[in-house]
A = this chain, B = another copy of it.
Amino acid sequence: MVAVEARHLRYAVALAEHGHFGRAAASLGIAQPPLSTQIAALEREVGERLFDRTSRGVFPTAAGEAFLVRARAALAEMHRARIDAARAARGETGRLRIGVVASALLDPLPTVLGRFRRSRPEVRLIVQEMTTPEVAAGLLDGELDVAVGRGGPRGAGAEDLVTVPIGADHLVAVVSAAHPFAGQPGVTVEQLAAEPLVVETDAAESYLRPLFADDPAPLGAAATARDIHTIAGLAACCAGVGLGPSRMRLIARPDVWFCDVAPRYRLPDLQMSFRAADPSPVLAAFLDVVRRNCARVGSRLDDLLARHPAITQV
């Protein structure tokens, strides 16, 4: 009473194909007697005669026909198991969940994501627009594989992450085309302080605070929005003067005007993060694309991998 093994299936399929014990055995690279015994064992195990041995050849019975259909399917599955495992190990299949802030979707991401999609067409790429805090939380919760935020994740768990800068910005203002600032190349912080401001929801408590260190009042009165598209939209509606990263200039709206803020005020970098211990081959493949397509980020990743090769096998 031994279990049915893949060997039995291979033998049965070969026997059905050749209709002859001797030739089937030869095609399997074994002698005829073991094939007879294995087929007999299979029939005993299944409990039904699977082949009719006649003088004109060996033919599957009705039960044999039904069995062979499944047997072929099972063998095909086993073959595909090996194929799929190899493909998954090369990062050719699987999924990659990316959380990203809207501004990164304007500049570095379209190129990278496009190339990655082309190089790994079977990977399910799940991109979600989020805010910086959401992005960090999602990565630590395991709901994301890659996070792109501004300033990178901080706090508990951040030491298990690897973070690389993927873009620098300075602050720019955006106003309606009808606003007095429209047409000006720049505005000063003093001018801004006199205007109603539209800023990112949590920017007041984070990167904008130092700018209005003298008098934080304008930030307190500011309207807020959760992404730069909404900021630009509100500015276009004359809801106020929008503030955002210089990357925001890539929003192609004819009804707004962008001014540099003087003095030039550097914003926290766009940062890409992933779990240092993440063994995902898809992530490795993604990082490979990032490294190849962003010269500065690439060298940074090279460094990281050289110093800490256990991070992931790119």
Taking beta carbons and an 8 Å cutoff, which residues of A are in contact with B?
A: 3-7, 9-10, 46-50, 52, 61-67, 69-71, 73-75, 77-78, 80-82, 84-89, 91, 93-94, 279-282
Flag if A70 contacts B63 (CB, 8 Å).
no
Task: Report chain B residues within 8 Å CB of A89.
Answer: 48-49, 61-63
Extra pairs beyond A46-B85, A48-B86 (8, CB < 8 Å)? A46-B86, A48-B89, A61-B89, A63-B88, A69-B81, A70-B80, A70-B84, A74-B78
CB pair A67–B48 under 8 Å, yes or no, is: no
This chain: copies in complex: 2
Which chain B residues lie closer than 8 Å to A84 at the CB level?
Answer: 66-67, 69-70
Known: A48-B86, A78-B70. A63 touches B9 (CB 8 A): no
Inter-chain CA distance A74–B75, complex, in Å, is 7
Point out the residue from B47, B52, B94 that lies within 8 Å of A86, measured CB to CB: B47
Q: How far is the CA of A6 from the CA of B279 in the complex (A)?
A: 28
The interface residues of chain B lying within 8 Å CB-to-CB of A5 are 5-7
Can you name 6 A-B residue pairings with CB atoms under 8 Å?
A3-B10, A4-B81, A48-B86, A62-B279, A63-B86, A70-B77
Distance of A193 Cα from B205 Cα, bound (Å): 113
Which single member of B6, B50, B86, B282 contacts A4 (CB below 8 Å)?
Answer: B6
Whose C-beta in chain B lies nearest to the C-beta of A67? Answer: B85
Given that A4-B78, A73-B77, A77-B74 are known contacts, is A66 also in contact with B85, CB under 8 Å in the complex? yes
B-chain residues with CB within 8 Å of residue A281 when the two chains form the complex: 62-63
Give the chain B neighbours of A70 by CB distance below 8 A: 77-78, 80-81, 84
Chain B residues in 8 Å Cβ range of A7: 3, 5
